[in-house]
C-alpha cells in the first residue's frame, strides 16, 4: 500500500470514529444525568468492571475518576465471579462496561451485583441487552460500525466507551467544584503537577543570592556572577533592588568599552529589572521570562530581595 493510500485510510478511520463520538450526543438523556447524580450522592466508591478491551477502557476511566475527586476501583469481570466480588462494599456503585451487554461473564456478574443491592450503571452499545435490562441506569454507547474493516476488533466502540467515561468524570468534577488546587493534590509528580503547585520560593530557596552594591568594582561583580552560577547579580542599595547585571551585560560592556578597570556596578547595571513575588507560581515566572525574552527574574518577599529564578531552573523542574 502506497503512502498516500495509507494516509487516506487513516483519515477515513479518524473521521469514522469522530462521527461516532458526535452521535453520542443524542444518547445523553435523563438516564445519564441520573447516573451522574447517583455517583455524586453516593457515600461509597465507584467500582468499574468489564472484560477484554472494555476492561482496558475501565482502567482508564478509573484513573480519570480518581484524579478528579471521585474514588474509583477497577474490578475485572472474570476475576469478579471467581472471588473478587469482595471488592464491592455496601455503598459502592458499580459501572459495568460491555459493548454487547451479553457476554457470559456479564450475564453471571450483573445479577450478583443486583443481589448485593448495589446500584448498577451500564455503559453498553446495546441498551436492550441483558446488562441493559439489569442496570439501574444505561449510558448508551451504540456505534454503527467498528473502524476495523471486518467490523470485529473493538475500535470505534471502545472510543465511544472512553468518551462516555470522560463525560461522566467531568460532569462529576463540575458538580464537586473540583479546582486547580484540588487537581494539584492528586498530581504532585511530573510536569503537570509542578505547574499547579511549584512556587517561585521553591526555586529561590535552592539558589544562591548574588548581590553587589552600586560601588562594587567590576572585578568583584564578575566574581559574584561567576561564583553564584546564575549568570546574574542583583545590585542593592540600602537593601533595595536598584538594578541587575547579567553576563550578557558584561559581554556588551566588553565589546563597547576599551578601559573598564574603573567601572563599577552602577555603571553597567540595568535599572528597573523585572521582578516577581516569591509566593507566585513558577509557571507565572515562565510566562514573564517568555514575555520579556529574558532568562532571569528577581524575586521579592514583602518588598525585599528574596532570590533569583533562572530559566534553567524551570527546565530542570520540567515546567518547560
Classify residue 77 by its DSSP letter.
Answer: H
Closest by alpha carbon to 263, among 207, 222, 233?
Answer: 222
Distance CA 19, CA 9 (A): 15
Query: Residue-wise pLDDT tens for the chain (320 aa)?
Result: 789 999 999 999 999 999 999 999 999 999 999 999 999 999 999 999 999 999 999 999 999 999 899 999 999 999 999 989 999 999 999 999 999 999 999 999 999 999 999 999 999 999 999 999 999 999 999 999 999 889 889 999 999 999 999 999 999 999 999 877 777 667 666 666 677 778 999 999 999 999 999 999 999 999 999 999 899 999 999 999 999 999 988 988 888 887 778 899 999 999 999 999 999 999 899 999 999 999 999 999 988 999 999 999 988 888 77
Distance CA 278, CA 205 (A): 10
Residue 240 grid cell? 533595595
For residue 92, what pLDDT is reported? 97
Residue 242 grid cell? 536598584
CB contact at 8 A, 158 and 53: yes
Closest by alpha carbon to 168, among 129, 137, 130?
Answer: 137
Classify residue 88 by its DSSP letter.
Answer: -
Contacts of 12 by beta carbon, 8 Å cutoff, 6+ apart:
none
Q: How does pLDDT run across 258-292, given as a tens digit for each residue?
A: 777 889 999 999 999 999 999 999 989 999 999 99
For residue 191, what pLDDT is reported? 61
Q: How does pLDDT run across 166-222, given as a tens digit for each residue?
A: 999 999 999 999 877 777 667 666 666 677 778 999 999 999 999 999 999 999 999
Distance CA 221, CA 215 (A): 10
CB contact at 8 A, 53 and 160: no
Distance CA 78, CA 55 (A): 10
Number of Cβ within a 10 Å radius of residue 44? 16
For residue 70, what pLDDT is reported? 95
Beta strands 270-271; 240-246: pairing state: antiparallel
Which pTM was predicted?
0.70
For residue 187, what pLDDT is reported? 64
Amino acid at each position: 500500500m502506497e503512502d498516500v493510500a495509507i494516509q487516506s485510510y487513516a483519515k477515513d478511520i479518524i473521521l469514522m470514529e469522530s462521527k461516532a463520538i458526535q452521535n453520542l450526543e443524542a444518547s445523553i438523556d435523563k438516564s445519564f444525568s441520573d447516573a451522574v447524580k447517583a455517583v455524586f450522592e453516593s457515600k461509597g466508591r465507584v467500582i468499574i468492571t468489564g472484560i477484554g478491551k472494555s476492561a482496558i477502557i475501565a482502567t482508564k476511566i478509573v484513573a480519570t475518576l480518581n484524579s478528579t475527586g471521585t474514588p474509583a476501583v477497577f474490578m475485572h469481570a472474570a476475576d469478579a465471579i471467581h472471588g473478587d466480588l469482595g471488592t464491592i462494599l455496601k455503598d459502592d456503585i458499580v459501572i459495568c462496561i460491555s459493548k454487547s451487554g451479553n457476554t457470559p461473564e456479564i450475564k453471571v456478574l450483573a445479577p450478583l451485583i443486583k443481589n448485593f443491592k448495589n446500584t448498577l450503571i451500564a455503559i453498553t452499545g446495546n441498551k436492550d441487552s441483558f446488562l441493559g435490562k439489569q442496570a439501574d441506569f444505561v449510558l448508551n454507547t451504540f456505534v454503527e460500525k467498528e473502524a476495523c474493516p471486518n467490523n470485529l476488533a473493538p475500535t470505534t466502540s471502545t472510543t465511544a466507551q472512553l468518551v462516555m467515561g470522560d463525560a461522566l468524570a467531568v460532569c462529576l468534577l463540575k458538580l464537586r467544584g473540583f479546582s486547580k488546587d484540588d487537581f494539584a493534590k492528586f498530581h504532585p509528580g511530573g510536569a503537570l503537577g509542578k505547574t499547579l503547585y511549584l512556587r517561585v520560593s521553591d526555586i529561590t530557596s535552592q539558589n544562591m543570592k548574588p548581590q553587589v552594591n552600586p560601588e562594587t568594582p567590576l572585578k568583584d561583580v564578575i566574581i559574584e556572577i561567576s561564583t553564584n552560577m546564575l549568570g546574574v547579580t542583583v545590585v542593592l542599595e540600602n537593601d533595595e533592588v536598584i538594578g541587575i547585571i547579567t553576563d550578557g551585560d558584561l559581554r556588551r560592556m566588553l565589546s563597547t568599552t576599551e578601559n573598564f578597570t574603573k567601572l563599577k556596578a552602577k555603571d553597567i547595571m540595568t535599572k528597573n529589572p523585572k521582578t516577581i513575588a516569591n509566593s507566585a507560581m513558577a509557571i507565572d515566572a515562565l510566562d514573564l521570562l517568555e514575555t520579556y525574552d529574558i532568562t532571569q527574574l528577581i524575586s521579592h518577599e514583602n518588598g525585599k530581595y528574596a532570590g533569583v529564578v533562572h530559566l534553567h531552573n524551570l527546565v530542570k523542574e520540567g515546567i518547560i
